[in-house]
Each structure stands twice: as structure tokens, then as C-alpha cells.
Structure 1
Amino acid sequence: MIKTTKNGTIIMRVMCAIFFLLFTFLYLFEYQADILAVTQHVLAHGVTHYNRTIGAVLLTIILWVLQLVIFGLSGLSRRFHALTYLPSLLLLGVLTDVTSHVDQEPYLGNWLWGFPLIMAGYAGVVWVCRQLEPLEQSSGDVGVFSRISWQNLLVMVVMALVVCALGNSDRTFHFRMRMEECMVKGNFAEATQVGVKEAATDSSLTMLRVWALSENHMLGDRLFSYPLVGGSDAMLPNGASVKLMMADERKLYAHLGVVFIQKMRPRVYLETLHKAHRATAAAHDWLLCAYLLDRDLNQFVRHLAKYYPINEQLPKHYKEALIIYKHTTSHPLISYYNNVKEADYDDFQDLGDKYGNKRERYTALRDKYGDTYWFYYHYKR
């Protein structure tokens, strides 16, 4: 009976170990890699770079070794065995409990005193459990489907959920850091695919999307297929509401032309850049899109012909803007006509007229025309 019970607890311990190793590695590699990358970047002041594979493997091994030490010291091998993983899993949650202001706030914060306090309480709980385990009556229920196995696995699942609750779960921040990680590596094409079907956004994410699309020469064709906020003010970092955490700001300004000593709002900067004849070809699209983001069609039209011939080769959003301009201006500076775009814009207006309820109208138009400048111009605020 003793041998059978021992074999049963071994099976249970192996199941717990497999669960822990798989959860920890996947949590670090798939979910929190970008958060750990920005954390290391900030703490190391950009000197070192986090590798998601090496980092996930090393942290998983370190946390597992910690569990083995706790198991060796506590001797909890039966009903309370899962508790030997608590310090490792709690530490995992602490490591990924990072705010979007990690560059301005202390990394560990309250955990500096909270973690030792929890561990002191944990030591007391382990002592009590250690006294209770020898008193348990063996039921002979062993194996993968035994009660002791599933009780321990249930505790492991609960602790894993606590880890997920502690770790950073801000989707927008995850998107931002994933994009910056791609852009640091020069993979701007992959950066444009991050969060492409998600509604979550902020001004910093808007800026990153502008930059990534520009590097791929798709700014005029795809910008308004993303959720955008902040207008033209969100196009460049300001150190507060719009900022870069890992990507090099100098590369951004080199992409556009030069950086001026005097701080300017993005639209003013782009206009000054062009007046000084220091703008790159990419900066032309940035200026045009700045006008579109601010819904300033008059300025957009005044500058469009400087950089593009008015024909069917125009980027998608520029065509859409010209259609709106034509329908909202009595004496347009540019006369542009496109049968397909005109028909689509008529359908866009007709679909909007079908719904009296604002929410229903917004949803219907977003589903069909959410990737157009028309939807942004008329319905995004």
C-alpha cells in the first residue's frame, strides 16, 4: 500500500510539474515577452536587449529550481504539494506586474514590502500543512484520475489565474510594445499587422502605426483602416501622451528629415520641415495625412498637387478625401471624378440614412466602411 501511494503521489507531482513548466514558458514566451522586453530596456537604460526565447527558458528553469528547493525544504508531497509552486508563480506574477508608465514609476513598487510579507505568511501556512499531511488517511486512490491529483491541479489552475490577474493585461500597451519590438528589429511590415483587427488604441499606438505604414510606403492607402485617436497631434512623440519606449526617436526624425531644436506640434513641425526644404519624400505623406487627421480638406487639397499627379494612381485615402471635398465644397480647387468611388460614397451615405439610431448607424457603417477615410471623417471623434 505504501509503495502504491508513493507511486500515486509521484504521478501527481509529475502532472503538477508539467502544468507549471508549460504554463510558465507559454506565459513568458507568448503573452508577456514584449512587456519583459520593455522592462529590461528601461532598467538597463537601453544597453541590453531581451530575447524572448532565451528569457522564457531561463526564467522557467529558475522558477522551477526555486520550486524544487521549496519542495525539498517543506516536504509537501501529497494533498498540499501544489503549494510548493506558490512562491515561483507569485514571483512570476510580480515580474510581469508592469504598468504602461514603467519608464516613470518604480518597477516593483509595493512588491518590495508586499512580497516578503506574503512569504512570511506562506511559511506559516506551509508549517501547518506539514503537520497535517502525516495525519491524512490513505484512501488508496492513486493515478492520473485520483482525487489527490485533481485537487492539486485545481490549486495549480487557481494560482495560474492569479498570475494572469497580476501580470500586465493592458491590450493597448501590449500592442504598442509588440510594435516597438518589431520596429527595433526593422520589421515594419510585421509591425503593421499588430492589433490590426482590434478596436483598442491610444495616441502612442496611432503614432506607431503612422510610422510603420510610412516605412512600408502604405500611409496613404491604409492609415484609416486602423482605429485612430488624437488627430495630427498623435503623429510624433511628445514625451507624455505620445511616446516611444524602446524604438529610437532619432530614426523617426531621420525618416522625415531633421529635428528642430524648438519643440513644435507635429503638424507645425511638418509644415516647417517643408518650408525649410528639409522634408524627405516620406514626410510629404505625413503632412498630407496630418491634414486628413485634422479633417482640414482645404489644406490637404492645396498641398496634394505638389506631391502627386491627380489621377487614378493616387493612394486610396487621398481619393476618398477628394470625393468628400467635392461634395462639401462649392468651388473646389481640384476637380476629381471616379465612377467607382462616387458610387461607393453614395452607398456609404445611403447606408447611413437607413438608421435613425446613432449606435446602429455607427455599427453598420463601421462594419462595411470602417477602413475608409469617409468613416473617419464623418463618424470618428
Structure 2
Amino acid sequence: MSEYIHTAYKKAARIQTVVCGFLFALFSFVYLYVFQRDVLEALHFSLAHGKTHFAPLASAIIITFILILLRWGVNCLLGLKGNVRAFSYLPSCLILGVLTDIGKNIYTEDYHTPWGWLLPIILLIYSLLVFWLRRLLRNRLNKESNPVSLMNYNLLILILLCLMTVLIGNTNRKFHHELEAERYLREHRYTEVLKVGEKSLEATRTLTVLRSIAMSRAGLLGEKLFAYPQYYRSDGLFFANDSMQTLRYTNDSIYYLLGVRPYTGEDRMEFLRNICYRGTGKYTALDYYLSALLLEKQIDAFGKALTDFYETEDTLSRYYKEALLMYRESHPNCPFLITDSILIKRYDEYHERKTDFASSVMERNGMRREFGDTYWWYFDYQE
């Protein structure tokens, strides 16, 4: 009977080892390839200085394989058995978390992380602690437990270790959105850039600028700009000067897009105006200038620029037409006419709807739900 129990226990132990190994491999692959793909790519770019190509699928498979080998080596060295055998995954799970615990400073020249000294210390403490506990609890570890308990305890330990990995890694949604948008932009997939976080009202300055670059390259700046949250006025067309707030794209990318660099200390609005009126910039510069005027709510300057650079028979982009409707209210002699009956009707509905709310807060929120993708809402309600 005891021999039968021993055989059943050994079989259960093998099954437990295979199940935990499979679950860890599955977790590691999905975590790296799906959830942390862009973070891993950023780490690769930083370490390789952009000199080698990043292959996400191969990277996820190779790292997962190495971590499984590490787990095997740790278990051979420490000899963990029984209900605590899954603790041999701790170094692998810890390293997996450390690999994805990076922030925006990953691209800076003086990038450093406390994990450089903290990780070896933790692994050393782990090894010493396991050696000590193995000697202290030798008899209990060698005791054959119930196969069900064996599986349950080890699965619980593995789940907790995987949770530790997730908690260590960077799970900041805004940062992931920025990295994803940046990746699509480098791949010239401008439509995909605009899909990143499109349902969210959260938008960092970096993500806002990446979107505007994608719109400009796709010729959609005047069509899509106010379909997304705009919290930074014309600053949302340019990156912050602090490298900790940007990723691989910088303002040099935008100046290349515009065709001209500003003089040192030159105001950005003045810079955009000059390159348009002097004709020194590329064709994209005009959309940037008109968009900047709209973002700064300078309707009069926008109307003048539209008259200076467009012919009356030219087809205008959506938000230029929406702004033009507002401009014509104070400038009825404007040569541009809006003949879009649907747009005019919606503008009339916009004015009528504003009177239906009991408070300013209800008005702002209610109008956002119905007209939040219009320039009119931005002009009246966005601070």
C-alpha cells in the first residue's frame, strides 16, 4: 500500500512540475509579447542604442526559455521539494518583473536603475534563506503529502509570484499608450496611432503630440484634431523640452516635418506664422499654424490666415469649417461661405442645447457627451 502511495505521489509531483512549468511559460510569453511588448522594445532600443532590430516574438520566446532554464538550475541547486517546489520560480519571476520595470528615463544618457544593486542582494538573500529553511525543515520537505495539496500549494505559490511580477513591472496605462503610439508612428501606421487610447479622456502631452504628428503625416490635422482631448493648447503640437517627458521622438522630428527650425528663443506661434507667411516651411506648416491658432482660440487670426492662404472655392477640413462658422458670426463679410446644411444644422442645435441645463457643470458634461468632438465645445468649455 505504501509503495502505491509513493508511486502516486511521484506521479503527482511530475504532473505538478509539468503544469507549473507550462503555466509559467504561458504567463511569461503573454506578459512579454502582449502586455509588455512596447516596454521590452524600449529596453532593447536603450541597450542596443537602436543599432539592432527588435523582434518581439523571438524576444518573448527566448526570454521565456532562459527563465525556464534558470528555474531548473535554481531547483537543482537548492533542492526544493514538496509543497514549496514552486518557490524555485521566484528568481525567474523577479527578473521578469525587473526587465519591465522601466520609465521614461530609459532613453536618457544617465539612465540607471536601483535594480542593478538591489536584484543581486535579493537573490543572495533568497538563496541563503532557502538553504537555511531546507536544512531546518528537511524532514517536513521529504514527507510525501497529499497529491491534491501538492498541486494546490504550488499553484498558489506560482500565482503569487506571477502577481509579484505584474506589480514590479510598469503597468502605467499612459506610458504604455505613449510607447504604443510611438511604435506605430515609426512604422508609418498613422491610423493605428490614432486608435491608441481613442476612447479615453486621458491624454498626456507626449501622446497628444504623437497624435498630431500622425494626423499631419496622414493629412488629417484639420479633420481629426478635436476628436481627441486637447488639454495643452498649442503646446500640444510640440514636445516638452524636458527629455524625461518625451520618448524617442523630439521636437527635431516636428521641425523636420515643418521644414524649418526656429531661432533660439523664438516664440512658437511667431515661428509658425513666419514660416507660413514667408513660405519657408513645407506644406504641413500651414496646417500646424492654423491648428495652433484654433488651439489658442484665436478665431480672428485664424479667419485672417484662412483668407490669406485659401481660395474661396477650396475645400476646407472639418474643423476649419466649424471654426469658420464661429468666425462669420462676428465677420459677416467673410468671403468664405459654408454651404454644408448638416454642419449648419448641428451648429444651430449646439446653441439651442446650451440653454437646456440647470448648472454650468451639467452643461459642460452634457455638451461634452453630445458635442465633445467639435471645435465649438473646445472653444466654449475647454480651459
Question: TM-score, structure 2 length as denominator?
Answer: 0.89
Distance change (3 Å), C-alpha of 1:358 and 1:55: farther
Distance change (3 Å), C-alpha of 1:240 and 1:135: same
CA distance in 1, matches of 2:300, 2:124: 67
Deviation at 1:24, TM superposition (A): 0.9
Whether the 8 Å contact between 2:184 and 2:193 is mirrored in structure 1 is yes
Whether the 8 Å contact between 2:368 and 2:377 is mirrored in structure 1 is yes
1:72-111 mapped onto 2 (5 Å cutoff): 72-104=76-108, 107-111=111-115
Matched length:
376
CA distance in 2, matches of 1:78, 1:272: 75
Q: Which one of the candidate residues 138, 159, 178 is aligned to 2:144?
A: 138
| 1:147-181 alpha-carbon deviations (Å, 9 max, x no partner) | 22122222222222221121112222211111111
| 1:234-259 alpha-carbon deviations (Å, 9 max, x no partner) | 31234327965224765543322222
Deviation at 1:307, TM superposition (A): 3.6
Equivalent in the alignment of 2:169: 167
CA distance in 2, matches of 1:267, 1:36: 37
Q: Structure 1 runs of 4+ off > 6 angstroms?
A: none
Equivalent in the alignment of 1:181: 183
Write the letter of the residue equivalent to 1:51.
A
Q: Which moved more, 1:335-344 or 1:3-12?
A: 335-344
Distance change (3 Å), C-alpha of 1:116 and 1:247: same
Distance change (3 Å), C-alpha of 1:41 and 1:8: same
Deviation at 1:42, TM superposition (A): 2.8
Matched, 1:254 2:256: yes
CA distance in 1, matches of 2:351, 2:222: 22
1:210-221 mapped onto 2 (5 Å cutoff): 210-221=212-223
| 1:6-50 alpha-carbon deviations (Å, 9 max, x no partner) | 111111111211111111111111111112222232333332342
Equivalent in the alignment of 2:365: 363
| 1:24-78 alpha-carbon deviations (Å, 9 max, x no partner) | 1111111111122222323333323422112211211121111111111122132
CA distance in 2, matches of 1:378, 1:241: 33
Question: TM-score, structure 1 length as denominator?
Answer: 0.90
Write the letter of the residue equivalent to 1:352.
K
Unaligned runs of 5+ in 2: none
Distance change (3 Å), C-alpha of 1:246 and 1:189: same
Whether the 8 Å contact between 1:181 and 1:246 is mirrored in structure 2 is no
Coordinate RMSD, CA, aligned: 2.4
Equivalent in the alignment of 1:350: 352
Deviation at 1:334, TM superposition (A): 4.8
CA distance in 2, matches of 1:105, 1:358: 48
Whether the 8 Å contact between 1:204 and 1:242 is mirrored in structure 2 is no
CA distance in 1, matches of 2:273, 2:198: 29
Whether the 8 Å contact between 1:178 and 1:194 is mirrored in structure 2 is yes
Equivalent in the alignment of 2:325: 323
Which secondary structure does the structure 1 equivalent of 2:357 belong to? coil
Q: Which one of the candidate residues 299, 307, 313 is aligned to 1:305?
A: 307
1:219-234 mapped onto 2 (5 Å cutoff): 219-234=221-236
CA distance in 1, matches of 2:89, 2:263: 54
